[in-house]
Amino acid sequence: MELNLLSRVFVLFAATHFGAATDLHRSVRQAPGSIFTVGNGEPCLGSDRNTGGVCLSRNQCNTQGGKAVGFCGVFATCCSLNACDVRTNTKVAVFINPPLTKESSGLECSYNVEINNNNVCQMRIDFETFNLAPPSTVDPVENVTQRPGYTCRNDIFQVTNLQANSDFLPPLCGDNNGQHLYVRVNASTNSRSIRINFKIADRNTQPNLPQATWKIKVTQLECFNTLGKYRDGIFEAITSSLPSTPLTSSADRDEYLIAPPGCLQYYPDRAGTFESFNYNRGSGPYIANLAYASCFKRTPDVCGIKLTAASFEMAYRQEENLYLDTDCQINPVTQGSLQSEDYLFIPESETTDGLRGSKFCGTSASNQIIASTPPGPLYVHFHSDNLVTDDIPEAGYRFNYNVLNNCYLKK
């Protein structure tokens, strides 16, 4: 007789490891080649006790177009990184919004990040602070219940100059504190750089928009290590014999952070949280026209992932149903009236209510423990259309996750 899912998930839960949630921001303090490794990237105050900065080595500060405003750490400078047009090739770079007053708004800040060395294959962009104007849609029209989806029309963050058209990254905006994304790079291409762009709407003409602030950290990840093997995509097989944590050299740290191909986001820790873009502490709304994967590390002992929604509120196509699969996306493709196609794809899932499916919309993932036990990579895939319907909220989701290393698979 088979166990019901609730008790199975409980067993899985109890058997899951928790300890390895390694501190990500420890990972990248060390610039290669510097003995006095001082630029820990932590916030600091200038000697006027007023100007904010980031603790970096003098060299890092110079090459990032920063200005030393004081001292910090060991032999380090408190570096003000408020410049708006910066070109850098440091292994780790931090960019902070310039002071944005009403007079200075309506500007565009561009950061050109050039590849640090030929082994760099990915850049991880961490949004330590990210507050831009929220995504918006058109004003309501009487008796019209459907409108275009929420997109970034005022402040816009975008990464361009990417290696391949297929790497197109969506424009982002709103509240994305703590989020991150990955960009694939190729040292063999001519430009050897990516461009990170903030376009800030004029607050004189739109005084109701919130103030724009950001602090983003760009980490260049190297796909080769001391073994000299090409790692992207096949690194798991080679690294399984290496200690998983703590890692010491910067190449080992990179390996921990390198995402599988095709993942916009990557969560290498065994437990943590993730949420939709512009989750905005549960108010959303999520951004229209997105399709991206958030991936998790599948070490050899891992057989699945357990997801617990702190909140989950998405649009749906079919009311009064389970908000699963065909309630989230019609099949076959039909012409005519617009239907919602917003969903979170969680492959091979089973919920505590005994529901099985892969596409979740409406509120189907709320108040559930979901076990996703697919063969192959561990990921969820967010899909949003270009449609909002009055009275159907699109707040988004936030999940806690734990990888599972003990899956009682059904026969």
Provide the minimum distance between the beta carbon of 263 and ligand NAG in the complex, in angstroms, as a whole number: 15
Give whichever of 188 and 335 is closer to ligand NAG, judged by the CB atom: 188
Phi then psi for residue 305, to 5 deg, are -145, 145
Specify which residues 349 forms β-bridges with. Answer: 357, 372
Half-sphere exposure of 110 (CA within 13 A, CB side): 9
CA 370 to chain centre: 21
Give whichever of 188 and 337 is closer to ligand NAG, judged by the CB atom: 188
Provide the minimum distance between the beta carbon of 160 and ligand NAG in the complex, in angstroms, as a whole number: 18
Give whichever of 143 and 248 is closer to ligand NAG, judged by the CB atom: 143
- Contacts with ligand NAG by CB under 6 A: the residue count is 5
Provide the minimum distance between the beta carbon of 52 and ligand NAG in the complex, in angstroms, as a whole number: 39
- Exposed, middle or buried, 226 (CB in 10 Å: 0-12/13-18/19+)? exposed
CA gap 275, 152 in Å, rounded: 18
Phi then psi for residue 235, to 5 deg, are -65, -30
Give whichever of 55 and 123 is closer to ligand NAG, judged by the CB atom: 123
Show the tokens assigned to 72.
């910090």
Q: Does 390 bind ligand NAG (CB under 6 A)?
A: no
Provide the minimum distance between the beta carbon of 393 and ligand NAG in the complex, in angstroms, as a whole number: 23
Q: Hey, what amino acid is at 242?
A: L
- Spell out the residues 6+ positions from residue 64 whose beta carbon is closer than 8 angstroms to its own: 56, 79, 81, 86, 88, 90, 93, 94
Please select the residue that binds ligand NAG; options are 166, 188, 226, 337, rule is CB under 6 A: 188
Give whichever of 165 and 334 is closer to ligand NAG, judged by the CB atom: 165
Provide the minimum distance between the beta carbon of 267 and ligand NAG in the complex, in angstroms, as a whole number: 23
Give whichever of 101 and 143 is closer to ligand NAG, judged by the CB atom: 143
Provide the minimum distance between the beta carbon of 185 and ligand NAG in the complex, in angstroms, as a whole number: 9
Q: Does 186 bind ligand NAG (CB under 6 A)?
A: yes
Provide the minimum distance between the beta carbon of 192 and ligand NAG in the complex, in angstroms, as a whole number: 10
Binding segment toward ligand NAG, per CB under 6 A, in 153-161, 184-192, 259-267, 274-282: 184-192
Give whichever of 186 and 213 is closer to ligand NAG, judged by the CB atom: 186
**For 404, which DSSP code?**
E
Nearest by Cα to 270 from 304, 241, 321: 304
Q: Hey, what amino acid is at 5?
A: L
CB 180 within 8 A of CB 257: no
Q: DSSP string covering 153-178, please?
A: -SSEEEEES-SSGGG----B-SB-TT
CB 93 within 8 A of CB 33: no
Provide the minimum distance between the beta carbon of 186 and ligand NAG in the complex, in angstroms, as a whole number: 4
Binding segment toward ligand NAG, per CB under 6 A, in 44-52, 56-64, 183-191, 262-270: 183-191
Give whichever of 8 and 231 is closer to ligand NAG, judged by the CB atom: 231
Ramachandran area for residue 267 (φ above 0: left; ψ -120 to 50: alpha; else beta): beta
Site for ligand NAG in 111-150 (CB under 6 A): 142-143
Binding segment toward ligand NAG, per CB under 6 A, in 152-160, 186-194, 240-248, 393-401: 186-194
- Spell out the residues 6+ positions from residue 376 whose beta carbon is closer than 8 angstroms to its own: none
Please select the residue that binds ligand NAG; options are 189, 249, 273, 367, rule is CB under 6 A: 189
CA gap 315, 150 in Å, rounded: 12
Give whichever of 122 and 250 is closer to ligand NAG, judged by the CB atom: 122
Provide the minimum distance between the beta carbon of 105 and ligand NAG in the complex, in angstroms, as a whole number: 36
Binding residues for ligand NAG (CB under 6 A): 142-143, 186, 188-189
